[in-house]
């Protein structure tokens, strides 16, 4: 029988395990870290930041003991700077190109410094933004995740009235539901949402799902502009037929874990297999270990280099006792009395650039399998738009200004094609879309007045 149960660890251990994995800087730590920054000219880190935060400037502000000013520098470019400080794969972005990384192999700790500054502003209750003078225009935003909220915030500061439609009863999107609990402690995702909402001129209508309660065409009629940012609706399937009990969607489990007030209530297997190679795989693997799973194995069909999880994230998982197996893929699920008992894994290799199975199969007994092989966009949600919205590779096609092919409709975040599926890129999408919407609405207004 599968060994799945709640409360594998006592409350104290769970509380330790789900506390801040990398605590914020103390004041002097921050100053020392900040003083290492060289204040580069035309700094590579700024170019590597999808939201173009003036990193050398905010770090200098920290060094000059003005963390609140540093927070303003950050939030001016990225209103979700607090969460991005925690979840950005900085080693692939700003820190990866830091000249100190290049020269010494030790980048300025930009992410942690950003957290230090934004925490300081939040703790001090400093609000930098307010709603702009009303333009009389209204914009509908679909999805209260990073892209949607970033767009709503920028629009509100520019004077537009924003209504956000959100399927869930809580705002924040993947920041609230999709990030490992130990990365977003102290309710930071909600504090950030509150900070954004405090600007005013933004209304969130919860329980409104696109395609069920609202339609793109309807919003387009009702509002002057529409921004689509509903993310991805479904998790990819393993493609192994009927799934016995014990095969779970990692995204759902991560969301449940984040929302669970008592982590001991979550049932977790003794032996856990995670299928996938991205951040979701890392987050579910690490967190099931933290819940008390005895053996957790990530199975990825390609090599270490191809994993979309950053090397740092891979290290985090391995430090927590997660085993990562490369070049293997699941080919069959074993069940006993309708419950999962194991998974057959086939070795893989590349043949002329194509991934193929070698035919060699091993059986890994397990109690739970988590699917973390990516999510897909649900086209049915925008079916009413018909051919109005052009798709590409299963997601919405946008231009540089985040305009879809349907006039008056913009899109951003994970639901658009070609993105990196990061919080920070979603925020940039939202910001750029808001600026584009603003330009468009003001242009129209100018024309109407003539």
Residues 6+ apart with CB under 8 A from 115: 24, 25, 82, 85, 86
CB nearer to other proteins: give 35 or 252: 35
Instruction: Note whether 240 binds other proteins by CB under 8 A.
Output: no
Instruction: Note whether 41 binds other proteins by CB under 8 A.
Output: yes
In whole angstroms, the minimum distance from the beta carbon of 124 to other proteins comes to 16
Q: With CB under 8 A as the contact rule, which of the stretches 34-42, 216-224, 298-306, 393-401 interacts with other proteins?
A: 34-42
Q: With CB under 8 A as the contact rule, which of the stretches 42-50, 119-127, 178-186, 330-338 interacts with other proteins?
A: 42-50
Q: With CB under 8 A as the contact rule, which of the stretches 79-87, 94-102, 330-338, 359-367 interacts with other proteins?
A: 94-102
Instruction: Note whether 43 binds other proteins by CB under 8 A.
Output: yes
CB nearer to other proteins: give 32 or 407: 32
CB nearer to other proteins: give 42 or 305: 42
Q: How far is CA 377 from the centre of its chain?
A: 15
Query: 59-62 long-range contacts, Cβ below 8 Å, gap at least 24?
Result: 59/34, 59/108, 59/110, 59/113, 60/34, 61/117, 62/30, 62/31, 62/34, 62/113, 62/116, 62/117
CB nearer to other proteins: give 103 or 390: 103
CB nearer to other proteins: give 15 or 103: 103
Task: Give the separation between CA 308 and CA 304, rounded to whole angstroms.
Answer: 9
Q: What residues form DSSP beta bridges with 333?
A: 343
Can you spell out the DSSP letters for 336-349?
Answer: ETTEEEEEEEEEEE
- For residue 139, the SS3 value is strand
With CB under 8 A as the contact rule, the residue among 34, 216, 226, 324 that binds other proteins is: 34
Q: With CB under 8 A as the contact rule, which of the stretches 40-48, 131-139, 238-246, 300-308 interacts with other proteins?
A: 40-48
Gyration radius (Cα) of the chain, Å: 23
CB nearer to other proteins: give 32 or 356: 32
For 236-294, strand residue ranges (E) read 247-249, 268-269, 271-275
Instruction: Note whether 55 binds other proteins by CB under 8 A.
Output: no
With CB under 8 A as the contact rule, the residue among 1, 12, 42, 169 that binds other proteins is: 42
Q: Give the H or E element holding residue 280.
A: helix 279-291
CB nearer to other proteins: give 98 or 197: 98
* Residues near other proteins (CB under 8 A), total: 17
With CB under 8 A as the contact rule, the residue among 48, 59, 63, 398 that binds other proteins is: 63
Instruction: Note whether 26 binds other proteins by CB under 8 A.
Output: no
Instruction: Note whether 103 binds other proteins by CB under 8 A.
Output: yes
Listed residue (110, 117, 97) closest to 33, CA to CA: 110
Residues 6+ apart with CB under 8 A from 5: 267, 268
Footprint of other proteins on this chain (CB under 8 A)?
28, 31-32, 34-35, 38-44, 63, 99-100, 102-103
């Amino acid at each position: 029988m599968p060994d799945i149960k709640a409360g594998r660890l006592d409350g104290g251990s769970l509380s330790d395990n789900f506390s801040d994995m990398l605590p914020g800087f103390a004041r002097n730590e921050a100053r020392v870290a900040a003083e290492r920054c060289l204040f580069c000219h035309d700094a590579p880190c700024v170019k590597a930041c999808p939201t173009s935060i003036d990193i050398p400037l905010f770090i200098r502000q920290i060094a000059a003991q003005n963390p609140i000013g540093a927070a303003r520098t950050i939030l001016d470019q990225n209103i979700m700077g607090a969460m991005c400080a925690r979840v950005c794969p900085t080693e692939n972005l700003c820190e990866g190109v830091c000249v100190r990384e290049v020269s010494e192999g030790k980048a300025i700790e930009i992410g942690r410094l950003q957290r230090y500054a934004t925490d300081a502003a939040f703790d001090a209750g400093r609000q930098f933004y307010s709603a702009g003078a009303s333009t009389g225009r209204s914009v509908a935003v679909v999805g209260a995740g990073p892209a949607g909220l970033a767009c709503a915030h920028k629009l509100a500061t520019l004077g537009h009235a924003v209504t956000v439609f959100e399927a869930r009863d809580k705002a924040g999107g993947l920041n609230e539901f999709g990030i490992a609990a130990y990365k977003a402690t102290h309710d930071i995702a909600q504090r950030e949402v509150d900070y954004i909402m405090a600007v005013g001129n933004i209304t969130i209508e919860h329980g409104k799902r696109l395609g069920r309660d609202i339609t793109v065409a309807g919003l387009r009629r009702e509002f002057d502009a529409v921004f689509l940012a509903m993310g991805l609706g479904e998790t990819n399937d393993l493609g192994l037929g009927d799934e016995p009990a014990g095969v779970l969607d990692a995204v759902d489990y991560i969301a449940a874990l984040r929302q669970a007030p008592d982590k001991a209530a979550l049932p977790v297997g003794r032996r856990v297999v995670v299928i996938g190679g991205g951040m979701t795989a890392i987050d579910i693997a690490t967190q099931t270990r933290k819940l008390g799973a005895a053996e957790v194995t990530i199975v990825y069909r390609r090599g270490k280099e191809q994993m979309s999880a950053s090397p740092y994230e891979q290290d985090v998982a391995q430090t927590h006792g997660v085993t990562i197996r490369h070049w293997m893929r699941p080919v069959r699920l074993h069940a006993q009395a309708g419950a999962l008992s194991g998974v057959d894994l086939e070795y893989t290799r590349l043949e002329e650039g194509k991934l193929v199975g070698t035919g060699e199969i091993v059986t890994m007994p397990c109690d739970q399998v988590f699917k973390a092989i990516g999510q897909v966009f649900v086209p049915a949600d925008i079916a009413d738009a018909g051919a109005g919205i052009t798709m590409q590779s299963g997601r919405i096609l946008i231009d540089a200004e985040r305009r879809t092919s349907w006039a008056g409709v913009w899109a951003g975040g994970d639901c658009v094609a070609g993105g990196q599926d990061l919080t920070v890129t979603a925020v940039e999408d939202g910001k750029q879309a808001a600026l584009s919407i603003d330009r468009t609405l003001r242009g129209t207004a100018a024309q109407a007045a003539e």
